[in-house]
Amino acid sequence: MSADLFDAINQNTRATGQWGKGKAPKLPEYPRPKAKKTEKPGKSPKPRTVAEIYKHFQRR
């Protein structure tokens, strides 16, 4: 969410600034984390039922 806010502020600054014609600065983007590939191809997890999920959260 902070990356989206950062980008929105940058775009607003760039759009409303007093730059010369065609000389708006290029502002850096917020660094976003990369998604990790942990799932093995061909092996999909078994879907859980609502009852299994409920039992999982009721454990103490």
The pLDDT of residue 14 is 76
Query: What are the pLDDT digits (tens) for 15-48?
Result: 777 777 777 777 777 777 787 777 666 677 788 8
- Give which of 44, 45, 10 is closest to 28, Cα–Cα: 10
* Torsion sign across C-alpha atoms 20, 23, 24, 25: negative
pTM (2 decimals)? 0.41
The pLDDT of residue 54 is 92
- Residue 42 corresponds to which tokens in the numbers above? 């061909």
Within a 10 A sphere around the Cβ of 14, how many other Cβ atoms? 13
- Residue 15 corresponds to which tokens in the numbers above? 């759009």
Query: What letter represents residue 44's amino acid?
Result: S
- Residue 27 corresponds to which tokens in the numbers above? 């502002």
